[in-house]
Structure 1
Amino acid sequence: MTTVPPTGRIHAPAIDTGWAERAPATDAMYNPALIACLLSAAAGTHLKRASSGLPVALSFIVTPMALHRDTRQALTATTVRTHLRTWAERNPMVRVGFPERAQDLVPVVRQGLRFALRHHILGLNGDMLLPQGRLPHRIPEHPELEDILRTSRLLGRWLAVNDPAAVFALLGVTP
């Protein structure tokens, strides 16, 4: 069975992204290009700190943390020197609902990863994401976008010094 969108082009159901059902504000936040950019920012700082790529599994942690406004605000007052466990203990309300947010964003993260790999924003080496330097030279100025990317870079550095299994356990999610 195929669907015919308003453009008249026929799409197979397997590649139908469901964007028609989303609200415009949701489209902006869950845009695959934005997800690709935030993951590239996280992978870049992770690479500098750990000399290895960002484990693919951690992209499912970085994205819900970077897109969630309350989490970004809690991370603003944090430095890389603060241990993840300490931060989580100081900010228990951020952890509330995180497993559900992470689960809800799985399809969005997958779309963002596919976009990033297809457009050479990220490369894949085994199960590690590596930035490819293919980001736009000028990212539109917007305070929330800048905040998302700044948080992504912080998370990349921060997660470089934490065991992925411990991160998942601390946040109450399973890979």
Structure 2
Amino acid sequence: MIAHDVYAETNPAWLSYVLVGFLRGFVEADPAGPELPLAYVCLPLCLSGDLASTFDGSNKKTGLREWIERSPQIQLELSDRLNGSMEMVTGAVRLACFSKTVRLEQGRLLPGPVALKADLAKGLSLELSGPVKRADRLGFWVAASGSTKTAFDILGLSL
């Protein structure tokens, strides 16, 4: 029997770690940093085990639109997934800001003065490194899409 530790997966420290992965991928493509609402969209997508396989065979060149076209099931009940994770994402953003690994300026998330290791996923098990790697990739795709509105449109969401 395998125990599934939901508390560990929703721990603000762990989620902050994944958030930093998303932020790193994003600022690689757009140094201005993501607008805060993107954290509420992207973190649940990266952390969802049922969506992990949708990242298989992709890389940073794949892009957000192609990823969605390859796996349209991502959009199924997406709003429910996002609404159900709002408190967890808020906790992650707060902890990341309090720990100074992330800063929030004019509605954008930016790297903070306290840096985490450059390769966040190195040395972690596949179960733990997967969300961090997916967050980095998704951050890059979202930044390359051009704007928060464009990313929301591609995902089938409205602001």
State if a TM-score over 0.5 links the two structures.
Answer: yes
Relative to the length of structure 1, the TM-score reads 0.78
**Normalising by structure 2, what TM-score?**
0.85
Q: Choose which of 67, 72, 90 in structure 1 pairs with 2:70.
A: 90
- Unaligned ranges ≥5, structure 2: none
Max radius of gyration: which structure? 1
Size of the aligned set, in residue pairs, is 153
Cα deviations across residues 90-118 of structure 1 (Å, max 9, x unaligned)?
A: 21122212111111001110011111101
- Aligned match for 2:40, one of 39, 56, 60: 60
2:68 maps to amino acid: A
Q: How does 1:14-163 map to 2 (within 5 A)?
A: 25-132=5-112, 133-135=114-116, 141-162=124-145, 163=147
Q: 1:136 offset after TM fit, Å?
A: 6.3
AA paired with 1:169? D
Answer yes or no: is the 8 Å Cα contact 2:64–2:138 preserved in 1.
no
1 or 2 for the larger relative contact order (CA 8 Å, sep ≥6)?
2
Q: Give the 3-state SS of the residue equivalent to 1:144 in structure 2.
A: helix
- Given that 1:99 and 1:171 are in contact with CA atoms closer than 8 Å, whether structure 2 keeps it comes out as no
Q: Give the residue type in structure 1 aligned to 2:133.
A: R
1:149 and 1:166 map into 2 onto residues whose CA distance is 23
Q: Decide whether aligned partners of structure 1 residues 93 and 126 sit closer, same or farther in structure 2, where only a CA change above 3 A counts.
A: same
- Partner amino acid for 1:86? E
Shift of residue 51, structure 1, vs aligned partner: 1.8
Pairwise CA RMSD: 2.2
**1:40–1:130 Cα contact (<8 Å) kept:** no
